[in-house]
Amino acid sequence: MASGGLSGWAIARIFGITIRIHASWVLIFLLLAYSLAEEVLPQSSLVGGGPWWRGMDAYNHILAHQKSEGLISFYGAAEELGIAVWPWWQYWLLGIIGSIGLFVCVLAHEIAHSIVARGAGIPVEGITLFLFGGVSQLKKETETPGDEFRVAAAGPAMSVALGLGCGALYLGLYGALPAQARAILFYFAFINLALAAFNLLPGFPLDGGRLLRAVLWNRYQDAARATSVASWWGKAIGMGFVVLGLVEFWWEFTVLRTLSLGPLWLVVIGLFLRHAAAASYRLLSVREAFAGLTVRDAIRPDVVTVEPDLTLDGLVDEFFYAYKFRSFPVLEGGRLIGVISLKDVQGVPRAEWPSRRVREAMHLVREENLVHPADGLSDVFRKMAEEDKGHLPVVEDGRLVGIVTRHDIMTLIQLKTDLGGHWRPASR
């Protein structure tokens, strides 16, 4: 599903992938355990552990009896009617098992995405489980439609396999298993197939939307255009859920005269999908705009440099005030030997400025903070953000050939996205 800035508690590491749980998952865990223990499993138990919706009428019959007789418990009402039910603790135990089981199934789905992504050379940061399911956090996007297709298909394939596996066990062992085990197996079969079906809806960033994007990308040979179409469908499907939820809510309220939260849940999911489609589209557009760009494309060759033997007094008057930059590379015989910044000068008492030289006050540039013209621009941009640097010197064979600034990179990316991804490298 969508990626984003989700954080959470790290609970495990599986195949070197950190598994995190977001606080909102706890809510869904409890809601699910409750609905399983109080509704789904009691209904299923009334048809010997079979499909719960077949037990719905009998369940409602018991509830109606409980209400009309003013009985405290569902179990007492069932007993009065002579209908056999399981002890209450079994419903709750199975409810918790079912809730944990869903967690394992969602995790298996995400691990399948992550492992295939890693096989395609994409580093995986981790998996986070939250209110609406799971997210695999990949460090970058896939580079070919084929990789995109395989990574997107892996999750639903895992869910279908789990669903069919549980379904086969349910059918194959039907007579041999106690009703409780049948009920839980049936639930797992259903939930995995439902998970696959939902994720296969063809709206980005759902897996189905990624599959659609891969197919369109392959057809158009244009990733940006494919993303745009798949995201449009993502937003449309989100809106579809919202409308469906509102119509159902209105229908239940006016025709059935009941108020339930089910339809509103559809609205929430729809709004979330819409938001995720828009947010993922923006993220992907930026990543696509960075694709293929190197430092060479953003370099500023006309760098103002200073000599190491200049006094700080001279530096302040002739460089800081004259050019209004906050730092200058220091060159000696054409080689970069350091950088002098405003902060370095502030560290020297004012009275010593006429006698102290740039060489004594400058700082050295760490090897990992030097960039090269062929370096990928997105990596350099990330490095600048991590190290909080506004610019980095660009060197080639030890010689300073320019600088690259955060501002220039942002302007370039903005230009490229505004021009619909059109890009003709000027310097290659």
Residues forming contacts to Zn ion in the complex (CB under 5 A) are 155, 199, 207
Nearer to Zn ion, 3 or 227 (CB): 3
**Torsion over CA: 347, 351, 353, 356 (sign):** negative
Nearer to Zn ion, 86 or 149 (CB): 149
CB proximity list for 247: less than 8 A, separation 6 or greater: none
In the block, tokens 């890693």 appear at 118
Nearer to Zn ion, 207 or 344 (CB): 207
- Shortest CB 118 distance to Zn ion, Å: 15
CA 63 to chain CA centroid, nearest Å: 42
Q: Cα dihedral angle (378, 381, 386, 390), rounded to 10 degrees?
A: 180
- Shortest CB 155 distance to Zn ion, Å: 3
d(CA 214, CA 210): 6
- Shortest CB 192 distance to Zn ion, Å: 12
Structure tokens at 355: 């006698």
Nearer to Zn ion, 14 or 181 (CB): 14
Nearer to Zn ion, 106 or 183 (CB): 106
CB proximity list for 197: less than 8 A, separation 6 or greater: none
d(CA 282, CA 310): 47
d(CA 91, CA 179): 12
d(CA 236, CA 245): 14
Nearer to Zn ion, 141 or 207 (CB): 207
- Shortest CB 1 distance to Zn ion, Å: 6
- Core vs surface per residue 127-161: b (16+ CB within 10 A) or e: bbbbebbbbbbbeebbeebebbbbbbbbbbbbbbe
- Shortest CB 110 distance to Zn ion, Å: 7
d(CA 289, CA 420): 9
- Shortest CB 207 distance to Zn ion, Å: 4
Backbone angles phi, psi at 328, to 5 degrees: -135, 140
Nearer to Zn ion, 190 or 198 (CB): 198
- Shortest CB 288 distance to Zn ion, Å: 21
- Shortest CB 217 distance to Zn ion, Å: 18
Nearer to Zn ion, 155 or 338 (CB): 155
Instruction: Let me know: does 36 contact 95? Beta carbons within 8 Å.
Output: yes
State which residue has the least CB distance to Zn ion: 155
